[in-house]
Amino acid sequence: MKPTSARIILCTFCAFFFLTITPSFAKPVELRCEYLTNPLGIDAARPRFSWRLEDPSQGAGQSAYQIWVGTDSAGLLQGKALVWNSIKVVSNKTLITYAGPPLQAFSKYYWAIASWGVDGQRTLSSVANFETGMQKASNWKGAWISDTRDVNLKPAPYFRKTFETNKSIRSARAYIAVAGLYELSINGQAIGNHRLDPMYTRFDRRTMYVTHDVTKQVQKGKNAIGVLLGNGWYNHQSTAVWFFHEAPWRNRPTFCLDLRITYTDGSVETISSGKDWKTALSPIIFNSIYTAEHYDARLEQPNWNQPNFDDAQWKTVILRPAPSTNLVAQVMHPIRDVEAISPKSMRKINDTTYLYDLGRNISGVVSLRVSGAAGTRIRLRHTERLNAEGRSDMSNIDVHYRPTDNTDPFQTDIFILSGRGEERFMPRFNYKGFQYVEVSSNQAITLSENSLKGYFMHSDLPVLGKVQSSSSTLDKIWFATNNSYLSNLFGYPTDCPQREKNGWTGDAHIASETGLYNFDGITVYEKWLADHRDEQQPNGVLPSIVPTSGWGYEWGNGPDWTSTIAIIPWNVYLFYGDSKLLEDCYDNIKRYVDAISDRSQGHLTTWGLGDWVPVKSKAPVELTSSIYYYVDATILARTAQLLNKKADYTTYSALATQIKAAINAKYLNRETGIYGNGTQTEMSAPLHWGIVPSELQAKVAANLAQRVKADGAHLDVGLLGTKTILNALSDNGYADLAYQIAAQEDFPSWGWWIKNGATTLYENWPIDAKSDISMNHIMFGEIGAWYYKALGGIKPDPAAPGFKNILLNPHFVKGLDRFQASFKTPQGELVSSWERTAQGISYKVVVPPNSSASLSLELLPGQKVWNKGRVLDNAGKNVMVQQVNAGNYEFVIK
């Protein structure tokens, strides 16, 4: 029933009444729409609203909420210009989907929350806002324009248009859709701080547009809009083994722009891209997202994007068809220059060559300040390592590049000086993976340590988690893992930032929990799973890299890799309590599971790559791929149950049972409790993924532990095994042994890399391997999630996702004296911290408001758990189980 205006006014009066007389308990804070703060240009017909509660009191929670959405910020809570009033809803939910009338395009909406605490007191949030974008393709007024159809023309194009405004401006928004990459300016001012917009998609199936607030840049009188286009993945002019230069969408970059100006008198004027724009070539004489950027400063046209620039020599643009009919808003955390890094050292090799060391491996670019004669050609060669002579060594990262000539050196920017004093160069449409930069010139130049600066670029996700321990090696592994995760996040998860930049599916799902514990990644994952839906063939098959120009449907895919379609939506559901991604991907998951079924025999499948890059032992592909087949079928069945698809739930639950039985029938020796040959992956994968019959779990876990001990408490796994080995041990009574593996500092181990100077994770366990030796890969990054799950004991509860209830089972492992994990759940910050003291083990936990926790503390014989000076009853068992509500707790185990 729709609220009457009288009810709205009454509710509003109550809101203000309680706001003035009640303390700030259960206060809604951090209001987000579509998981962003005050987003611009969203297209969602039913946007999602979320918030956290601020309440330090014990047992804090929300008993009810009310949400208002309207078009007047000042009058929102007075019932003026309301669009939707939920009325009071008795619920502890803090993630709500808009349920009002259709939202209008190009409109700003304000919203606020009232929250009732468990004591019945009500508190109001501050007012947040969001702005709708195009909403539908027919609202675009601009035309798609470019400068040519020549895909081989190398210089990047400039575009400009002048216009005049004669009225007072209330607001201005620029909506720009691009096939390729762009930089936008108005009156010479760069707009925004994003890098590499828009994000890479399957361009002929989905094109993204970005919304910018340009109110401050548009001025009364004469104005100029400037657009600079880059190739990105749309017009790939470099050549490599993945054939991106043969992409079906390939063309010269193109864009469509609407600048929508709203005047104070209420009138609206739209300045659009069309035949009245002018174009010329820019000083960027070559740009490749894969290799590098070349810039000739002699070709600069000063003030090209200013109103009074003389563009008489510029050409008229050409019209182009839209790259796709599916234009969607880019609603996600953007790529930015997140961190500026000064060199750790600089070494002058000779008068024309200098070597810079940033001291750490990053993804991104550098800026260079230099003076020299006109025509001086400077090369900036980016590498991850040095050769025996101490010079830059490219040999570990250029192995898949297939250049047709010598004009496009790999990861080597070229800067040609204009001779006009000190000049600055920084690539616009490229990024690289590197630690070292060798700067060389065809003429003598003078550089200092301050001449060069590195910029760590990646999707700029909010940080959610932090780990600290008494082990410096453990902390450095965590730091390196996060560096590799971020280095491989550019609007989609990649494998490495130098050699490939491909969205390898296996790498991404293995590392997805690491990402979700540490960073607020839902916007990137939702975008990337839309890429999956774009790439899935009608028969359900997915490619091994997403997005793709067509490569990867015949090699590298299979259940062990492309289970991203099921695993990542399920993990997002567990972490955020949001089922939307599962709903969006449900049909795709179903088609994918059916595709595996079509290829399987006797409910087993050999389709897949297997345990990639193992130490020495490799599990049978049939075993590992069939396990992922089971995982996918299980997720599909659980999702069917969640979405009330009863027939599918019955069908796929039965399928999962049949797959599990087939795996155990072939690979499990029930007498010995050994799978296959008993290697680490063969034993840990069935344990971790729930394949082992319950009555044999202890026996199989004991056999796994024996195998690990026989391997010297070192790893003997590949990619798939790194996901399972630590978890299988920790979850089955052998957390101390898991920690031994994690803390090793000799080969093979994560610590071995750290001891040899790693600041990111590597692609291969031997640091002197002959192949697969990228020094910035995330694929072995599950250890970053294991810290939270095992040492901190923090896991989401599938029965109450989004950490509404937290499963807490910390392991106080031998050899570690102190550990703390903090994690900002959708409800608030959770802290799980323990330390060895003279009294025993002190365990402190902060359960966030609106959450509960199922706490399990494992005890040694004779140990008791104390809380506030009293002993807690553990019923004579070796584990103390207790349900706790929100608040701060300290337990002592002694």
3-class secondary structure per residue, 454-478: EEEEEECCCECEEEEECCHHHHHHH
- Asked if residues 599 and 549 have their Cβ atoms less than 8 Å apart, the reply is no
Q: Determine the pLDDT at residue 509.
A: 98
Quote the radius of gyration of the chain (alpha carbons, Å): 29
User: Following DSSP, what letter does each residue of 141-152 receive, concatenated?
Assistant: -PPPEES-S-TT
Evaluated on CA atoms 754, 757, 761, 765, the torsion sign reads: negative
Contact indicator for 892, 841 with CB cutoff of 8 Å: yes
Instruction: Name the token pair of 696.
Output: 């044999």
Q: Determine the 3-state secondary structure of 135 from DSSP.
A: coil
| Positive or negative torsion for Cα 426, 411, 377, 146 | negative
Helix (H) or strand (E) holding 660: helix 646-667
- Provide the token pair at 328: 């969607």
Alpha-carbon distance of 179 to 752, in angstroms, equals 43
For 644, residues 6+ apart whose C-beta sits below 8 A from its C-beta are none
Q: What is the pLDDT of residue 12?
A: 35
- Side chain identity at 781, as an amino acid letter? G
DSSP one-letter code for 167? S
Handedness of CA 809, 812, 816, 819 (dihedral sign): positive
Give residue 3's pLDDT: 39
CA-nearest of 300, 201, 116, 99 to 526 is 201
Pairing of strands 345-350, 353-370: antiparallel
Q: List phi, psi (to 5°) of 342.
A: -80, 150
Spell out a b/e string for 34-71, using b for 16 or more CB atoms within 10 Å of the CB, else e.
bbbeebbbbbbeebbbbbbbbbeeeebbbbbbbbbbbb
Instruction: Output DSSP code: residue 427.
Output: -
867: left (phi over 0), alpha (psi -120 to 50) or beta: beta
Contacts of 391 (CB under 8 A, 6+ apart): 349, 355, 438
As a whole number of angstroms, the distance between CA 94 and CA 92 comes to 6
Rounded CA-CA distance 727/891 in Å is 25
DSSP class of residue 244 equals G
Q: Which residues of the chain have pLDDT under 70?
A: 1-24
- CB-based contact 754:477 (threshold 8 Å): yes
Confirm if 752 and 767 have CB atoms less than 8 A apart.
yes
Give residue 688's Cα distance to chain centre. 24
Query: How far, in Å, CA of 793 to CA of 517, rounded?
Result: 12
Alpha carbon distance 147, 228 (integer Å):
11
Question: Which spans in 64-177 are helix H?
Answer: none
Phi, psi of 874 (to 5 degrees): -110, 15
Beta-ladder partners of 881: 856
Angle, alpha carbons 703-708-713 (nearest 5°): 150
Give per-residue burial for 785-800: e unless 16+ CB within 10 Å, then b.
bbbbbbbbbbbbbeee
Would you state the structure tokens that stand for residue 785, as one six-digit string?
A: 């999630």
Q: How far is CA 537 from the centre of its chain?
A: 25
Q: Distance between CA atoms of 178 and 198, rounded to whole angstroms? A: 7
Residue 580 and residue 525: Cα distance in Å, rounded?
A: 12
Angle 680-688/621-642 helices, nearest 10 degrees?
A: 10
Q: How far apart are CA 191 and CA 783, in angstroms?
A: 39
Q: How far apart are CA 66 and CA 112, in angstroms?
A: 8
Q: Which of 271, 252, 249, 273 is nearest to 261 (CA)?
A: 271
CA distance 831 to 467: 10
CA separation for the pair 590, 635 (Å, rounded)? 10
How far apart (Å, rounded) are the C-alpha atoms in residues 225 and 256?
A: 13
* Cβ atoms of 280 and 148 closer than 8 Å: no
d(CA 559, CA 597): 11
3-state secondary structure of 269: strand
Residue 886: closest CA among 2, 119, 40: 119
Cβ proximity of 430 and 181 under 8 Å: no
Question: CA–CA separation, 635 vs 252, rounded Å?
Answer: 42
CA-CA distances (angstroms) from residue 443 to 275, 348, 353, 377, 425? 44, 14, 10, 8, 17
Bond prior to 198 in cis (omega within 30° of 0): yes
- The single residue listed with the structure tokens 């060559």 is 353
Q: Give the residue from 833, 827, 862 showing the smallest Cα distance to 60.
A: 827
Residue 254 main-chain phi, psi, to 5 deg? -145, 160
Handedness of CA 321, 324, 327, 328 (dihedral sign): negative
Task: Find the helix or strand (DSSP H, E) in which 732 lies.
Answer: none
**Closest by Cα among 786, 795, 803, 831 to 578:** 803
Neighbours of 854 (CB within 10 A): 17
Strands 293-296 and 284-287: antiparallel
For residue 563, give both structure tokens: 């289970």
Do the beta carbons of residue 186 and residue 209 sit within 8 Å?
Answer: no
- With 0-12 / 13-18 / 19 or more C-beta atoms within 10 angstroms meaning exposed / middle / buried, residue 702 is middle
Give the Å distances, CA to CA, from 656 to 510, 562, 625, 640, 864.
21, 18, 13, 13, 41
Centroid of chain to Cα 550? 23
CA angle (768 as vertex; 682, 753 as ends), nearest 5: 70
Asked if 715 contacts 759 with a C-beta cutoff of 8 angstroms, the reply is no
Q: What CA–CA distance (Å, rounded) separates 132 from 571?
A: 29
Tokens read off for 417: 């000086």
Cα separation values, 865 from 270, 816, 870, 886, Å: 69, 20, 8, 20
Contact 427, 183 (CB under 8 A): no
